[in-house]
Structures are given as C-alpha cells and as structure tokens.
Structure 1
Amino acid sequence: MTVLSPAGHFAAAQRGHIRIADTDVIAVAERLHVCGLLDFLQPLVARDTGRPRLLTLEGLLTGMQLCADRHDGAVLLDRTTDLLQYRISPGMRTRFHMPERPETDRAFEASYACTRRLFHTLLKALDPSPLPKNRQLDRAEAGHIMQNADATALAEQATRLQRATGLLIENSLAPARHLLAAHWEGSLALDATPVRTFARGTRTTGPVTATDPDAGWYVRDGDHRDPDEAPPGPKRGTKNTRPTRRSKYLFGYDATLAIARNPGRDGAPTANGHADPAQLPAVVVGFTLDKPGHSPGPNAVDVLADVRHRGHRPGYLAGDRAYNNTSPEAFQLPARALGYKLVFDYRSDQLGIQAGHSGAFQVEGTWYCPAIPQPLIDATADLNAGRIDAETWTRRIAARAPFRLMPKQHPDTEGHQRFMCPASAGKLQCPIKPKSLGTRPHIPLADPEPTPAGPHTVCRQHSITIEPEAGAQHHQDLDYGTPDWQRVYFRLRNSVESFNGFAKDSAYEAIEQAGRRRIRGIAAQTFLLAYQLAHANQRKLARWLDTLPTADGRPRRRPTRRRPTKPLGTWTPTGHLTPA
C-alpha cells in the first residue's frame, strides 16, 4: 500500500471534507442531455470491442462542467479527475462506471489516465487538423501531412467541432432562453479577438513548427496576419505598409465571437434604480477559432450558420471593417442569405459612390437617384477632411432621404428586390417625370444632368430590379449616418467590445491567457474556450439578475448609473454620433 506524505494526508483530508451534492451532479448531467450535447458526441466515441471504459462520456462532460463552474470556466483534467474520483458520491461514480479507488498517488494517476484517454478520443473525432501536437515538426514533413490529408473528413470534423461547441454555449443560455425569445430580436455583433495558446511560437519561415502547429502569430497592425505569411510587399523604393516582425506580440488564435444584443433599448437603469428587465446583457451565442487574420468572412459565416441551426432568429448584424472588406461571396452574400441585415462602417477610401446599377448610385451602402447632389454624396468625406462640421454633416445625411430609391417589395427567395424611382414614389420632383412636378411643392426638386444616351434606366422606368450581387460588398440595410444607423451600429459594436473586456478579466475567465487552456491543438483550444465563454455568459446573466428588483422592490446589486457627464459618443473622432 502506498504511504502518503504529511502533505498528502492533508490533501486527502481536505478532499474528504468537500463533497458535491448529488442534486448538483444530476442537474449538470441532465442539462447535457437536454441541450443535446451528450447525444451528439456519444456516437463519436462509442466502441463495440475492447474492455469497457472506466469512465463514461456523460461522466467526463459532467466532471468538466463541474470543474468549469468551480474554477471560473477553466477546465483542467487533473481537477476534473479529482472532482469525479473523490468529490462526488459513490452512487454518482457508479452511474459514470467509475470504480472506487483509494486516495493514493497511483490510484489518482490511474483515474487521471482514464479521463485523459477519453478526452483525447473525443478530440480526435473533432479535430479539423491532421498535424500532430506536442512536438515540433519539420516544415517539409508538416506540409506533406497537410497535402495528403483527407480534406472531406477534416471538413466534417470541423463541422462537428462547431456543432459541439455551439451546444456548449447553448447550454449556458438555457436558463435565459425564454427571456431571449421575449426580448432579443436576433441582432448580433461580430468581432475577432486574440487568445493565446499553451505553446511557444516559432518563426513562421523557420525550419520547424511550434508544438501547437495550428496556431499563428497575431500582430497589431493591418489585418492581424503574420507578416511572414503575407503576400510580397511593394517593390523597393515604394512605401511598404506591411507590419514588421516587431509588431508580433501574441502566438495563438483569433476567436470570432457572435454577441447577442437588442439595439432597440439603451440598457439604462430605470427610475427605481434597478436594471431594465427587458434589456438582457450582451452574451455570446456562437464562436469559432482560426489562425489570426485568416478567413474572417468564412469564419463568421460558420458561426452565423451554427447560431441559425440552433433556432435563433436573425436580426441586424454589425461588424468592424474586416468583414465588409472581404469578398461578398465569402461573407456578405452568405450572411444575407441567412437572413441577417448588415450594418457597417467604411474606410475613408470607401466613402461616396461605391457602385452603380441601371443609373442608380450606391452611396455608402444605399441606392440613390442619379440626380443626388454632389455635396450630399461627399458629406462623410468632407467631414473626415475637416471641410464641414458635424452639424452640417448631420443635415446633409438627412437631406439624402428624398433621393433614396424606395423598396417596392421585400426581396424574393433569390434575393432580388424591386426599387421605385423616388419621383415615382412621390418623394422627389423630377423634370424627367412631369407627373411628379407641382403636386407637392415642399419636396425637393431634382436637377438631373443630361447624358448623350438619354435618361438612365432608373429614370425612364417606374421601378427597377436590383440583384443581390450588385454592390454586395458595401450593401447595408440602414441608411449610413442616420440616427437609426447610429443607434444600431454603435450599440452592437460597443456590446462586443464590452463582452471582450468582461471575459478577459484576469480575476475570472481570463480567456486571453494561455494557462487556462493547457492542451495544444485547435480542437482542444476551441473545446476548452467554449467552457470559458459559457461561464462568462452564466456570470453575466447572474449579475444582471442581481440588479433586478426582488420581493421588496429593491435590487440585490445596484446597476451602473448614468453619470452627469458628456456621453461617450461626443468623442467619436469622425463625429458620427449626433449629440443628444
């Protein structure tokens, strides 16, 4: 029999005094069944031959969830083993097919080996990368492995991983699902935030890979890709805008997060001093991992498709400029096909006229009459250049409305939509259409420029059809710069930045730190990050519930107050926000 040291006796005694109630264990296990995670993963690890496992998949997932609940979302397999082997009742261990073991080092190692084998069996069925982990590979050997891998099988495993982690997130939202159905209209904010991996990075062009070969370097500049992986820069003597190696500061992954938030409400405390019961906090409803700067559009579409697959309705969708700068086939068109209404901001070189169709101009995402005055087209560019002030910009944005093509019907099943000429819709007077003149003298009078070929198609016809590919890269569903656009875009963008800071808090989930996820590889990092994000959801929902009124009408926790100072939008550099 193994003799325990004094420290071992103390640890054993300590374990013996901390027991987890059967009701808590059963509640966790039942939620795994209800959310569908256990039923989804069980066929992936089932086997018909060999000795019976000394730990079931239900037991492993229950132990990992218990570990996450007690350690701020962090899941370490040694802690999970300790919970399952020594802190739950014998009846629960029997349910999970775990034998009774003494509190010795050898017994713990045997139990830990069972936990570790089953977890890595699960990862093998979910891993979208064929590269071996935990050892450095020669670059040529790694390239050979990737070239000879079964792309179809890897794509299937990537889908499984997305589905499994989505169900973990859904499990954290289960207590608030009825509130989401009542108060959330489906709007999301997208953002990619860097997280470290538990491996030391190596030079991308060096002879060997890192021990986590699926990760990459994140840089502060540009599109965040490693400059060693970027295309060749300009020729010598021209300005090179590629990031330098000195800007590398993190070896890990980009986590593409989809944050749910209702932009129709501002979230301010009520007059009674408690939180608004109809404004849920911003929570994550889906995510995925990839190398930093790689495929932001397709990664976002994978997340959106998973969110829709789990039954969440689509609403507005906001993201930073990394998303509307991708090719439309990779992001904008698939996102619109999923039912989302896009809301974007633009770079300074993307302002003004962005596309044309049948004579109509797309100006900052919206289709306008070709007679729209040039000062209205250049409003945002003039603001950024300092040629006009914010008040003038606001008036010019509002003056665009009469020149906007009016939707005649909703888009059809293929995304085609009919638009009316604003003069035909009674929003504008135009000499090309005499019936619009004099009927409503208070509306603007268009001054169309003559063209050698005669009036444009949109001017000759009552309405035109615009296909989804026309202006797809910069298309958005709200008029840029209007109060509605400001409300939706900035509230969604602020919510995703707020959640990033909340989940990166080093006192809690600390998702950016590598020590909370100590297993290498994209499958392991994704699966363990899902527990951290799920815990952040639970913590945020719990804090929100504490700010709601109790039986005596007072909240347990006071919500953040509005301060008698200038709002944050006052300091927006480009003056997009209209002062209240």
Structure 2
Amino acid sequence: MSAGDIDYAFNGYAPDLGGMTQTEVMGRGRIHQLIDDETVALMESRVRKTGVLERLQQWTDEDASGIGVGGRPSLISEKALLTALLLLAKEGTSMFLTSVRDLFMFRLSAASRELLGLETPRTAFVGHVAEKSRWYANTSRAFNRINALMDPFPQERRHSKTYTQIQEILRMHDEVLADKRKARLDEFTKLFLVMTYNEQPRDIRRASKKVDISFDQTYVGTPTTKGYSRKNLASRVKTETETKEKKTLKPGPVDAFAGWHVTTGERVDAPKGQIDNTTPDKKAGSANYRWGWEINIAVRVDSEAPGQHRFPGLAVAATMSLPNVRVAEEAVSLMRATKALGLEAGVGDADKQYWANSTTERLHDDALNEGFTPSTDYRVDRLGHQGGDHGALFIEGSTYCPGTPKPLQNATKELLGHIIDTATYRERIKSRSAFQLHVKEKPDAKGRTVLRCPALGPSPTVTCPLRELLKTATDRPRPAVDSADLSDFTDAICIKHSVSFDIANFKRTAQAFEYGTPEWDKFHTHARNSIESLNHQIKSGGTEDIESASRRRVRGFGAAQIIVTILLTNFNLRKIAAFISDKIKADAKKHVHGEPTLIRRRDREWHNPYTDTYPLGVERPDKLKRPDADDETGGPPQRV
C-alpha cells in the first residue's frame, strides 16, 4: 500500500489530498532526501575540531547569574545545530531555521540522530503540524541560545519601530556589553576559519613560513531594508512627538544597529565614540546607498611567489562591523586573528581606504606591533617629496639623498598626470633606488635606526661632489649627484658619516616593497585580485551568496555573523577540495607526459645509506652479500 493510500482520517475529518501524497504535504512540496551518516559524522567532527563548543560552555558559565532551579535538558544541542548549519551550507541550501528543523525531523538516520543527541520525531501524518511547530520552536531556541551569548546589539526585532523607539534603543545601548560580545563573536568566527585552514594537507599549510594577507570590506544585507540616519534622527523624533495621531505614523526601521553602505563615492571611518552620520543623498538618488553591515575579510596571499598558486586563497580571518565605523580597528582585528594559524606575520595588503587614509595611532602602530608590514597605494596628495629629516627626503615610503633629481622625485606624479609613459616611469623608479639612504644599523629598542649617505660605505650607489675626497681610483661608474640639485644649506646627512632617524617618521609610508617597482606592482596586483576574487565568489549568488539576506532570514547583527561564518567555512572547504583536485590532475598530467616529479635534493644528489638508494642516473654498484646474511632479505641471519 502506498503512502497516499494510508488512512489519514482524524478527528472525523479526512482531507482530500487530490494527487498529492502525505510526504509531499508534510514537506510542503519538498521531498526530503536522507543525508548519509558519513557526511553527518564529518561535519560533526569539524564542529568539534573548532573548539567552539567549549567556548560556548565557557561563555554560558560566565553569564550565569547564579544557581538556577534547573530544568529539562535542551532537545537540540549547540553541536547538533552547528552541524546542521554546516550540512545546509555544504548543500547550498538557504540558511533558514525551517530548513534546519526539516533536516532534524526528516533527513537524519537513527545513527546520525544518536551521534547528534536528537530524539526520534513523530513523523506520522496525523498531528504532523503540531510536531513540526514543536521542533521549530526547539530549533529556534537552540539558535537563540548561541546568539544570545554573542550578539552585541540585543533588541526586539519582530516589529517595526518608530523613530522615538529607535532613539530609546540607542540610548539604552550598553557599550561595555557590546564590546564583550563582539569579541566573542569574532572568536567564534576565528575558530571556524582556523579549523578550515588546518584541514589542508601539511605541505600546503606550510608552503610558506609566514602568512601574508590582503583584506577589505564587503557589503552584507539585512533581512529588513528600511534604515535611518543618526544625522536627522532627532528631527524625526521631534516630528513624531508633534504628531498626535500615532496611527498615522508610517512604520520605521526594525534594526537599530545597522548602517548605510556607500556603494559609490567617498566612505568615512568613524572611530570609537563618534557617530556615523551617513545618509542617502535624495537629490542624487539613493541607489548608491544600501542598508546593512560590512564583512571584513582577510584572504591568504603569497608575497614570496605571487600568482604561483602554492596554496588556495582561503578566508583566514573575518569580522563583521557597522558600515563606516572603526574600519581601521577591524583591520587590526583581522591581523590578530590571522596569527592564530601559527605562522609568522608577513605583509598586509589593502587599498587606500586603510593604510593611506588611517592615522598611525589607529592602524599602523598596532599592525607593526603585530608584525605585519603594509603594502598599498598612496593617495595622490602624498606622492613625491613629503618632507624629511636631517636633510634627507621622504619620498613614497623611502628616505632619499637631498640631491635626488627632481624628475626622479616626481616620477609617480608625472605618470598619473600622463606626462610620462609606464616604461619611462619604471626606468626612473629603478634609477631613483640608487639615491636611497643606506641602512647602517637596524632599529634599536628606542625606535631609532641609523642611515647613511648613499655615496658612503663599502658599497656606495652614487657619487656626490660633497664626498669627492672619499672617492678612490677603483670606483666603478655610478649615478652622480648634480651640484645644481644640492641644497644651499648642508644638513647632517651630507656632513656626518651616519645619522640616527626616528622610525616613527616612516610608519605611515613604509611598505614591504619599494613603491612603484615591478616587485611592488606584481604583489599588490596579485593581492588585490585575490581579495576581489574572493568577494565576488562569496557574493555571486552561488553556493554562499552572503550579500543577499533572502537566504538568511534570522534578524540581527549576531545572527548574521553566525550564518556568514558558516558560509565562509563552507567556502574554504570547497576551495581546499578544488585545490587538491586540481593538484592531483596536474600531477597525473605530468605523469602521463613523462615529466619528472619533484624529488628531494638528498635523493637527487647523494647516496642514502639508510634506504640504500642512489641518485638518479647513478647505477647501483654490485655489492657482495655478507657471508652470514639471510638469503631472502640480505640482512643479518634470522633465528630459527
């Protein structure tokens, strides 16, 4: 007898299902496919590997107000919920709580239920509506238990608010609690992303001893799209107060803690304590503004071999923030989270929104303390000669001789002004490097470094009229400082053998690669392409689609970051699998075409007495078997 023929009469009422089956009705048109036990066990093990379950318990204990009266154990554990979210992300399914509920009720075997600690639901057609409501309520409670520990901006989100209510929510906001929970939320994301990094084979993880990153922000939409601006909030509240008939008030925003993302145009970066007053310009149209949040993502890049694809471009750190607020501080958070991978800090690449626009106190100081060296482009107003010290010139991240020719000082300006072409620019940058001051002593504990004139030392790179007496007959031809380029006032760098410089003067402009050189251009292009590619892949409407809120309806800042974390985790796992697959195909292709595979140097060049192997192309010499050797193994005699 088929499922459609089963007697489903209840309460004296037998619904007419027409050509539909009970299974289709219970699934609201969906056919629930069973997930194999191996996949469930894999995702459950990855949740445990993160260490996040221990963190959640720790935070729960911290927030406990005291001794409770107890109660029934939760029907759905945190482990079960996070495993279910990973399973949905792997399928590319929308991250709805109803989808999680259906997975628990219909898509798990008895073995998987036992693994996740779930009871067996009543799946009979009679009473299925109440049973689904019960499981949804428990699923929602499980998610909200996790979210309540980490949501920096708790508020009621079921109903639209008046602007007066929005103002009151902002007034009652607890900044201390928000900082505490924001740190937890970022820790949650870090643990999942570190887990994905560790899922790579060791040779891929350790392709480089250091971790270089490229970071940026990307927009994440809210389930509710109506916003407001703090710039005109007070006037809106006043208008509402003057309105007697509250029923005539139009519904306002739902979420008080979001902001306007600027799609095109200039962005701001409000530090802590300042208010973001960004508001759509109605005259120009509001298409350039979108209400939501920002995901800050760092992708692993390669400064040693840019573009050679030695490892997959994974999201190694991520945080979420309000638009236009604390952009620099979020970048520092990314760098700190990246160090959890266990690698040395390397180069941190970003666009002009970060290094070029931030103050050293908010970004550069902390980044350098974490061990990351900047890589970026400069603002137009900071190109060419930008002051100096002891007579030396500060030009685009380096310190130069005061006699550096003007065309070399202004090379970048003239390139952007279309006065010279790229080939000429490259040649000038190459020539300019000869005029850089030489490092005599590395920075000391007091933050000072000793530099000297490029015409001095064991390997001078220029000749100078002021240093002519030191010139020897064996000098090779070098660029010369023109007397006309010398300053009328001779400062310390032109008089002394070496001068001590405060490295604090270089923090804003210092870079990992000399600006404008092919090395700088190659890495910066690779780094920017890597982060832009990652942003496109996770937002393109495919498997993750983190930008659109249509596939994650749970409201609020904390809920959004939890779900985006799961999606980024799935993205990383997909990238690792694809990278390994491509590597296997490439190796197989080499084998088919007879190309030699990589062999260790010790095996290529020397005899290994331990394995008794010889280098390629070297014939094994005939060796006499020891008289007392075993005939079969060639080793010592075996005891009988």
Instruction: Say whether the fold is shared (TM-score over 0.5).
Output: yes
Match of 1:252 in 2: 292
**Alignment partner of 1:330: what SS?**
helix
Deviates more, 1:413-422 or 1:523-532: 413-422
Q: Is residue 196 from structure 1 mapped to residue 216 from structure 2 by the alignment?
A: no
Aligned pairs (5 A) from 1:49-60: 49-60=70-81
1:226, 1:186 → 2: CA distance?
27
Q: Please name the residue that 1:348 is paired with.
A: 380
Once the two structures are TM-superposed, the CA of residue 321 in structure 1 deviates from its matched residue by 0.6
1:536 maps to 2:550: no
1:572 match: none
| Cα displacement (A) at 1:332 | 1.8
Paired with 2:30 and 2:446, the residues of 1 have a C-alpha distance of 62
Q: Determine helix, strand or coil for the equivalent of 2:211.
A: coil
Residues 86 and 45 of structure 1: CA distance in aligned 2, closer, same or farther (over 3 Å): farther
Residues 1:316 and 2:373 aligned together: no
Q: Distance in 2 between matches of 1:133 and 1:86?
A: 30
Q: Which residue identity does 1:259 align to in structure 2?
A: V
- 1:9 — aligned with what? 23
1:218 aligns with 2:238: no
1:409–1:477 distance in 2 versus 1, CA, 3 Å: farther
Structure 1 residue 155 displacement after superposition: 0.9
- Equivalent residue number for residue 475 of structure 1: 510
Picking from 69, 83, 93, the partner of 1:62 is 83
Whether the 8 Å CA contact 2:298–2:334 is kept in 1: the answer is yes
**1:305 corresponds to which residue?**
336
Query: How many residue pairs were aligned?
Result: 537
Q: Does 1:295 align with 2:342?
A: no
Aligned to 2:608: none
Aligned partners of 2:266, 2:567: CA distance in 1, in Å? Answer: 26
In the alignment, structure 1 residue 81 sits paired with structure 2 residue 101:
yes
The residue type paired with residue 314 of structure 1 is: A
**Structure 2 residue 208 is matched with structure 1 residue 164:** no
Structure 2 distance, partners of 1:306, 1:475, is 23
Q: Which residue of 1 aligns with 2:36?
A: 21
C-alpha distance in 2 between matches for 1:86 and 1:409:
69
Gaps of 5+ in 2: 1-9, 237-250, 592-640
In the alignment, structure 1 residue 128 sits paired with structure 2 residue 148: no
Q: Counterpart of 1:34? A: 49
Deviation by residue 1:129-157 (Cα, 9 ceiling, x = unmatched): 24443433344444444344432222111
1:99 and 2:113 aligned: no
TM-score, length-scaled by structure 1: 0.84
Percent of aligned positions with the same letter in both sequences? 26
Q: 1:60 to 1:91 in 2, by over 3 A?
A: same
What SS class does the counterpart of residue 432 from structure 1 fall into?
Answer: helix
The counterpart of 2:523, out of the listed 488, 497, 506, is 488
Q: Distance in 2 between matches of 1:179 and 1:197?
A: 40
AA paired with 2:456? S
Counterparts of residues 217-296 of structure 1 (less than 5 Å): 217-224=260-267, 244-265=284-305, 267=307, 279-296=310-327
Flag the 1:468–1:154 CA change in 2: closer, same or farther, 3 A: farther
Asked whether the equivalents of residues 276 and 325 of structure 2 are also in contact (C-alpha less than 8 Å), the reply is: no
1:317 is paired with a residue whose SS is strand
The alignment's TM-score, normalised by the length of structure 2, stands at 0.77
User: Could you tell me how far apart the structure 2 residues matched to 1:59 and 1:153 are?
Assistant: 28
> Is 1:429 aligned to residue 463 of structure 2?
yes
Seen in structure 2, the aligned counterparts of structure 1 residues 198 and 16 have a Cα distance that, compared at 3 Å, is: closer
Contact 1:138-1:209 at 8 Å conserved across structures: yes
Instruction: Return the letter of the residue paired with 2:221.
Output: R
- Are the aligned partners of 1:517 and 1:529 in contact in 2 as well (CA < 8 Å)? no
Greater shift, 462-471 or 310-319, is seen at 462-471
The corresponding residue for 1:336 is 368
Pair 429,308 (structure 1): closer, same or farther in 2 beyond 3 Å: same
- Gaps (5+ residues) in structure 1? 234-240, 269-277, 557-580
Aligned with 2:345: secondary structure? coil
Confirm whether residue 381 of structure 1 aligns to residue 404 of structure 2: no
1 CA distance for matches of 2:276 and 2:169? 22
* Compared CA separation, residues 417 and 85, structure 1 to 2 (3 A): farther
Distance 2:276 2:108 in 1: 52
Please give the secondary structure, in 2, of the residue aligned with 1:195. Answer: strand
Does 1 or 2 have the higher relative contact order (CA < 8 Å, sep 6+)?
Answer: 1
Residue by residue over 1:194-238, the C-alpha shift from the partner in whole angstroms, topping out at 9 and shown as x without a partner, is 2212112234235486222222222233334699x87799xxxxx
Give the secondary structure class of the aligned counterpart of 2:119.
coil
Tell me which moved more, 242-251 or 531-540: 242-251
Contact 2:317/2:337 (8 A) holds in 1:
yes
Helix, strand or coil: the match of 1:527? helix
Residue 164 (structure 1) shift = 0.3
Is 2:95 aligned against 1:71? no
Cα distance in 2, alignment partners of residues 538 and 520 from structure 1: 26
1:518 Cα deviation after fit: 1.4
